[in-house]
Amino acid sequence: MSETHFGFQTVKEREKARHVRGVFDSVASRYDVMNDLMSLGLHRAWKAYTVAVAALREGDKVLDIAGGTGDLARAFARKVGSRGMVVLTDINEAMLRRGRDRLLDAGQVLPTALCDGESLPFASGSFDVVSVAFGLRNMTHKDRALAEMQRVLRPGGRLLVLEFSKVAAPLAKPYDWYSFKVLPLIGKLVTGDADSYRYLAESIRVHPDQQALKALMKDAGFGHVDVHNLSAGVVALHVGIKC
């Protein structure tokens, strides 16, 4: 049985999804407030940038994978209008329920699907744009997930991967201090769960950096991939075109 990373731990591949589920079951109810606290609100700017780069048009069909509490899906739905469609998906029921409730609170009724990004229940060529924000890092087989994202896009369609990445060298030390000392402390104070936020910091360190992720996307069949570094590489937006 193959092994993989769960943060800095090595676990059996078939067990990783259970560990990841435990993290998001634990944080779902405080997920949004923690996002604002941990990123000092920056995640809103990163997502707004992603929505701008998506350049959606009225009538577009969009799939948001690992969409969680629905920030991107909500913004996308405003862009595609009533002729378009945005599907919110996630593997975790607690996160997806919060996402659906927040959409309903905002007056938006979108199709939602509980599904694994590594095995998507959609026909090939169904979407103009696919997005995955801060979700790919948690997937066991990133190559399979990227191949699935490529499959469900129409030719010429775009994949947007917003994810933590490798920070610029001068910021590495303060960023490590913040990640390993401050984040778990905030997690403990706000959610009573330091471990899930320790996992967050560790999972970022074992995730492919900008160039490695670009190579993975090319291997998955994206003919052209652009990389946009945000906040000195704390986060990167990769945009892949299915050529």
Ligand X SMILES: C[S@@+](CC[C@H](N)C(=O)[O-])C[C@H]1O[C@@H](n2cnc3c(N)ncnc32)[C@H](O)[C@@H]1O
**Distance of CA 57 to CAs 48, 52, 78, 132, 136, Å?**
16, 11, 10, 19, 25
Residue with Cβ nearer ligand X (68 or 233): 68
Nearer to ligand X, 71 or 193 (CB): 71
Per DSSP (E only), the strands in 31-185 are 61-65, 85-90, 112-114, 127-133, 153-164
Closest to ligand X by CB, 42 vs 173, is 42
Segment lying near ligand X (by CB under 6 A), choices 2-10, 51-59, 91-99, 172-180 = 91-99
Which region, judged by CB under 6 A, interacts with ligand X, from 51-59, 65-73, 78-86, 173-181?
65-73
By CB under 6 A, tell whether 51 contacts ligand X.
Answer: no
66-74, 75-83, 202-210, 226-234 -> range binding ligand X (CB under 6 A): 66-74
Residues 120-139 that bind ligand X (CB under 6 A): 133-135, 138-139
Q: Minimum distance between the CB of residue 90 and ligand X, rounded to whole angstroms?
A: 5
* 14: DSSP letter: H
Residue with structure tokens 């990163």? Answer: 46
**Nearest to ligand X of 145, 167 (CB atom):** 145
List Cβ neighbours of 56 (8 Å cut-off, separation of 6 or more). 62, 76, 79, 80, 84, 128, 129
Per-residue x/- track, 7-36, ligand X (CB under 6 A): -------------x---x------------
Q: Are strands 235-241 and 112-114 parallel, antiparallel or unpaired?
A: unpaired
Q: How far is the CB of 17 from ligand X (least distance, A)?
A: 6
As beta bridge partners, residue 114 has 90
Report the alpha-carbon distance of residue 63 to residue 85 in Å, rounded.
8
The answer for residues whose C-beta is within 8 angstroms of residue 174's C-beta and 6 or more apart is: none
Residues that bind ligand X (CB under 6 A): 20, 24, 65-69, 71, 90-92, 95, 116-118, 133-135, 138-139
